[in-house]
């Protein structure tokens, strides 16, 4: 055994007990370009710190060999992954997808990749995904909502990275929050249409937490004005046109007439509209409808959908701005950014 050890010591070559990938590495590029690995690394990360001639030679080798840097190694060495994690309730819910898209664009332009994960509306799922995602050492994280399990909060805080919470607002965010008050949406919407003269109301809603908050504050306003009965139809699963029709059908079958139906999304509202029309009723005379979100189809349904406009582009963009500021070491001016909302009165209510 001693012999082996001696051999190793005497041997110039490393022991090579393991096999790496056979791909071209920074080192092989360096060899081919006749420079030190450091120089190649610099050529990649700080091109202007390398002599033009050297740079050209290196780039040529990179081109020829098809070298692709290994960011796992780079990230480990630099303690930066250039990855931001995004956690949304659903990948196929277009309102979240749009927010993420507007978030992802500036992040990508700044050199970050987006790792997206979906968690439904369950806090436990969120906790699991957060753990999984933190093991990738993201440089920052985008969260949907402000409700998280205690364990989840602890992990997030321990990770010590910038965090943006979105789609709600709170004076005490984990780090930064960019959103709007769900409570205000419910309240203002109820007040607005009550003041317009409506006295009968109903709700078609998905079962998510944020919708519940809107519903509750909506009903609270009505209750305070003496309206205690607000027929509510819950649908479960990802909202779609069909669920909207089903939700409306239940209500209509129960004899709804002259009500304003407040929906938890434009998609559900579109379904309600379709069902009402399919029954030969007239909107808004027989049934009035208000959606939520102002998705881009809302202004183009027939009749055009009244709804609550949420500026998803601004929300996404601002979330990115704040995160990028923190990532760049710039102190963020506002820990809390309220992007507000706007009631869009169109033709269905």
**At its nearest, how many Å lie between DNA and the CB of residue 155?**
14
CB nearer to DNA: pick between 47 and 258: 47
Is residue 221 part of the contact set for its own copies (CB under 8 A)?
Answer: no
CB nearer to its own copies: pick between 137 and 335: 137
Through-space distance between the first and last CA atoms of the chain, rounded to whole angstroms: 87
Is residue 133 part of the contact set for its own copies (CB under 8 A)?
Answer: yes
Over 182-206, what HEC string results? HHHHHHHHHHHHHHCCCCCEEEEEE
- Name every residue whose Cβ is closer than 8 Å to that of residue 53 and which is 6 or more positions away in sequence: none
DSSP output for 264-301: SSHHHHHHHHHHHHHTT--TTTT-EEE-SB--TTGGGS
Is residue 1 part of the contact set for DNA (CB under 7 A)?
Answer: yes
Sign of CA dihedral 128, 134, 138, 144: positive
DSSP single-letter state for residue 50: S
257 contact, one of its own copies, DNA, none, CB 5-8 Å limit per kind: none
| Burial environment of residue 219 by CB neighbours within 10 A (0 to 12, 13 to 18, 19 or more) | buried
Is residue 277 part of the contact set for its own copies (CB under 8 A)?
Answer: yes
Q: Identify residues 23-52 at the interface with DNA (CB under 7 A).
A: 23, 25-27, 34-39, 41-42, 44-45, 49-51
Judged by CB under 7 A, the stretch of 70-78, 85-93, 101-109, 163-171 that binds DNA is 70-78
44 contact, one of its own copies, DNA, none, CB 5-8 Å limit per kind: DNA
CB nearer to its own copies: pick between 198 and 292: 292
**At its nearest, how many Å lie between DNA and the CB of residue 151?**
19
Measure the CA–CA gap between 28 and 204, rounded to whole angstroms: 63
Measure the CA–CA gap between 308 and 295, rounded to whole angstroms: 9
Binding-site member from 55, 110, 134, 281 for its own copies (CB under 8 A): 134
Judged by CB under 8 A, the stretch of 53-61, 97-105, 315-323, 325-333 that binds its own copies is 97-105
Is residue 171 part of the contact set for DNA (CB under 7 A)?
Answer: no
Per-residue binder mask for its own copies (CB under 8 A), 302-331, x = binder: x-----------------------------
Over 296-339, what HEC string results? CCHHHCCCCCEEEECCHHHHHHHHHHHHHHHHCCCCCCCCEEEC
3-state helix, strand, coil in the chain (%, to 5): 45, 15, 40
Task: Round the CA-based radius of gyration of the chain to a whole number and report it.
Answer: 28
Binding-site member from 15, 171, 195, 333 for DNA (CB under 7 A): 15
Helix (H, G, I), strand (E, B) or coil at 23: coil
Supply 83's token pair: 């990855």
Judged by CB under 8 A, the stretch of 27-35, 75-83, 141-149, 314-322 that binds its own copies is 75-83
Is residue 136 part of the contact set for its own copies (CB under 8 A)?
Answer: yes
Q: Which residues bind its own copies (CB under 8 A)?
A: 20-21, 23, 66, 68-73, 75-76, 79, 81, 83, 91-92, 94, 97-98, 100-101, 104, 113-118, 131-137, 154-155, 158-160, 240-242, 245, 271, 274, 277-278, 296-297, 299-302
Q: Which residues bind DNA (CB under 7 A)?
A: 1, 8, 14-21, 23, 25-27, 34-39, 41-42, 44-45, 49-51, 53-54, 69-70, 73-74, 76-80
């Amino acid at each position: 055994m001693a012999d082996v050890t001696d051999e190793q010591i005497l041997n110039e070559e490393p022991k090579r007990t393991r096999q790496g990938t056979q791909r071209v590495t920074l080192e092989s590029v360096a060899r081919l370009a006749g420079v030190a690995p450091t120089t190649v690394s610099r050529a990649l990360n700080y091109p202007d710190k390398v002599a033009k001639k050297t740079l050209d030679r290196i780039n040529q080798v990179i081109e020829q060999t098809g070298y692709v840097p290994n960011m796992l190694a780079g990230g480990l060495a630099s303690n930066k992954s250039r990855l931001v994690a995004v956690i949304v309730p659903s990948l196929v819910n277009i309102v979240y997808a749009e927010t993420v898209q507007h978030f992802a664009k500036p992040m990508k332009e700044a050199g970050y990749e987006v790792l997206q994960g979906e968690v439904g509306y369950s806090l436990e799922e969120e906790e699991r995904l957060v753990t999984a995602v933190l093991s990738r050492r993201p440089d920052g994280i985008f969260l949907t909502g402000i409700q998280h399990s205690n364990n989840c909060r602890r992990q997030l805080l321990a990770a010590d990275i910038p965090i943006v919470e979105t789609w709600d607002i709170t004076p005490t965010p984990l780090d930064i929050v960019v959103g709007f008050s769900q409570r205000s949406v419910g309240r203002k919407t109820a007040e607005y249409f009550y003041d317009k003269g409506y006295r009968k109301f109903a709700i078609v809603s998905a079962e998510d937490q944020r919708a519940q908050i809107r519903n509750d504050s909506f009903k609270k306003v009505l209750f305070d004005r003496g309206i205690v009965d607000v027929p509510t139809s819950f649908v479960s699963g990802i909202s779609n046109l069909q669920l909207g029709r089903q939700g409306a059908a239940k209500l209509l079958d129960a004899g709804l007439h002259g009500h304003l139906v407040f929906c938890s999304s434009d998609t559900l509202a579109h379904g309600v509209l379709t069902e009402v029309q399919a029954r030969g009723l007239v909107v808004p005379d027989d049934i009035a409808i208000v959606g939520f979100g102002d998705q881009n189809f809302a202004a183009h349904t027939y009749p055009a959908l009244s709804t609550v406009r949420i500026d998803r582009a601004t929300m996404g963009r601002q979330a990115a701005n704040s995160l990028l500021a923190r990532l760049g070491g710039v102190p963020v001016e506002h820990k809390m950014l309220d992007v507000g909302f706007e009631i869009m009165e169109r033709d269905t209510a």
